[in-house]
Amino acid sequence: MTTGLRYVYAVCRPFSAPLQSQLTGVGGVPPRLLHHRGLVAVVSTVPERHFAEEPLRAHLEDLDWLTETARAHQQVIDALTTVTTPLPLRLATVFRDDSAVRVMMEAREDYFRQTLGRLEGRVEWGVKVYTDAEPGELGEPERAPAKAASGRDYLRQRRDRFRAREDEWQKAEAFATRLHETLSERAEDSRLHAPQNPALSGAAGRNVLNAAYLVPRDHSEEFVELVDRTKDEASGMRVELTGPWAAYSFVGDIGGAEDEENGEGDLP
Amino acid sequence: MTVVERREIALVDLLDRLLAGGVVITGDITLRIADVDLVRIDLNALISSVNAQVPAPWEG
């Protein structure tokens, strides 16, 4: 292994079940396991010309490349999820060589052990709530719909429309808040993601809840049923469930981005 | 109201996790992808413009 960089997907505890034989990761290369001090890093060798800092930064702005890489990353994490509980790393975490990966594992050993212990047997479910598309919100310019008879009528129409939208909005907020509370009670942990931009998701309506829930794999069925039942609770709303995911949203705080030197990995 | 069944994972859901979740480790090569918000902002613009032209080329 002299050439190429190391792309790291995840850190796990050692597992005995084999990975799918045709599993490929980033760059179409099968991932391999790098054992070190009772932990396993799942890595692929990737070419420097694409994964050194400069080209990587450029690639990240290339939607096709990003999509392909994200899907390849996810494919490996998914495969790992069937045999163990992986601790997924952020997209495009790259090291110089195996030895640099080992150094990283050692530096964060306590964090990895604690977090893997906490996440063992858990999966993440994503739940999103959208308002149904409101014609009034989708690009209709702020103009009176029909000819208003007078200035006063015009203002009243405008105010009514505004109120209707406010009501709709408050109803959606209330529904999302209640749903989040209910689901949080059934989950070990939860996290709110930023609402998705409709331009990005292509979804109709406004995204009022974009949450992730950490649920023991064994309780997943009930959790999914619970989400399913919400369909009867409110009209004018759409609920979307995604998962099960590896616990991407619950990896804890390792010191975050600011953690330059040497992550001690102590949780706050 | 409907609960949409599982299907092909939407890119945007994937990015919520791969760019906003996962363990952030500043590798010796990597990137402060931590500054992902910057990447995402660019992405917003990029994806919007792609959306405007062709229907979701990344699906499938």
The pLDDT score that the predictor gives to residue B6 is 44
Considering the domain architecture, whether residues A46 and A112 belong to the same structural domain is answered as yes
Task: Compare B35 and A104 and report the one with higher pLDDT.
Answer: A104
Considering the domain architecture, whether residues A104 and A208 belong to the same structural domain is answered as no
Read off the pLDDT of each residue in B1-8 and give the average, rounded to a whole number.
47
Considering the domain architecture, whether residues A115 and A187 belong to the same structural domain is answered as no
Residue B36 has pLDDT above 60, yes or no: no
A237 close to A131: Cβ distance less than 8 angstroms: yes
Considering the domain architecture, whether residues A178 and A112 belong to the same structural domain is answered as no
> What's the token pair of residue A70?
């994200």
A265 close to A111: Cβ distance less than 8 angstroms: yes
What distance in Å separates the CA atoms of residue A245 and residue A122, rounded to the nearest whole number? 9
State the helix-helix crossing angle for B11-18 and A63-83, rounded to 10 degrees. Answer: 70
What's the structural domain count of chain A? 2
Cβ–Cβ below 8 Å for A234 and B1: yes
Considering the domain architecture, whether residues A95 and A127 belong to the same structural domain is answered as no
Closest residue on chain A to B52 (Cα):
A199
The pLDDT score that the predictor gives to residue A1 is 45
The pLDDT score that the predictor gives to residue B45 is 54
Considering the domain architecture, whether residues A223 and A111 belong to the same structural domain is answered as no
Considering the domain architecture, whether residues A115 and A19 belong to the same structural domain is answered as yes
What distance in Å separates the CA atoms of residue A69 and residue A56, rounded to the nearest whole number? 11
Domain that holds residue A63: 5-119
Instruction: Tell me what the pLDDT averaged over chain B comes to.
Output: 60
Q: Is A152 within a domain?
A: no
Looking at the complex, report in whole angstroms how far the Cα of residue A97 sits from the nearest Cα belonging to chain B.
Answer: 10
What is the DSSP-derived secondary structure letter of residue A232?
A: G
Task: Supply the CATH number for residue A241's domain.
Answer: 3.30.70.260
> What's the token pair of residue B55?
């229907």
The pLDDT score that the predictor gives to residue A266 is 40
Cβ–Cβ below 8 Å for B33 and A67: no
Considering the domain architecture, whether residues A112 and A221 belong to the same structural domain is answered as no
Residue B23: strand pairing partners? A89
Specify the amino acid at residue A23.
L
pLDDT category at B30 given cuts 50, 70, 90 is: low
Q: Is A261 within a domain?
A: no
Considering the domain architecture, whether residues A132 and A218 belong to the same structural domain is answered as yes
The per-residue pLDDT for range A120-142, each reduced to its tens digit, is 999 999 999 998 765 454 444 44
Looking at the complex, report in whole angstroms how far the Cα of residue A162 sits from the nearest Cα belonging to chain B.
Answer: 24
Cβ–Cβ below 8 Å for A242 and B11: no
The pLDDT score that the predictor gives to residue A203 is 78
> What's the token pair of residue A242?
């995604």
Specify the amino acid at residue A25.
G
Q: Is A148 within a domain?
A: no
Q: Which of B3, B10, B18 sits opposite A239 (nearest CB)?
A: B3
Q: Which residues of chain A are under the pLDDT cut of 50?
A: 1-2, 135, 137-142, 144, 255-268
Q: Is A31 within a domain?
A: yes
Cβ–Cβ below 8 Å for A63 and B43: yes
Q: Is A42 within a domain?
A: yes
Q: What is the ipTM of this complex?
A: 0.75
A92 close to A56: Cβ distance less than 8 angstroms: yes
Q: Is A258 within a domain?
A: no
- In the sheet with A189-192, reading across from the earlier edge strand, the strands are A189-192, A207-216, A122-131, A237-245, B3-4
The pLDDT score that the predictor gives to residue B1 is 38
The per-residue pLDDT for range A16-54, each reduced to its tens digit, is 998 888 999 998 999 999 999 999 999 999 999 998 888
pLDDT category at B47 given cuts 50, 70, 90 is: low
Q: Is A46 exposed, middle or buried (0-12, 13-18, 19+ CB in 10 A)?
A: buried
Considering the domain architecture, whether residues A87 and A128 belong to the same structural domain is answered as no
φ, ψ of residue A115 in degrees (nearest 5): -70, -40
Instruction: Residue A193: name the closest of B55, B43, B40, B1 by CA.
Output: B40
Considering the domain architecture, whether residues A70 and A130 belong to the same structural domain is answered as no
The pLDDT score that the predictor gives to residue A88 is 96
Looking at the complex, report in whole angstroms how far the Cα of residue B52 sits from the nearest Cα belonging to chain A.
Answer: 9
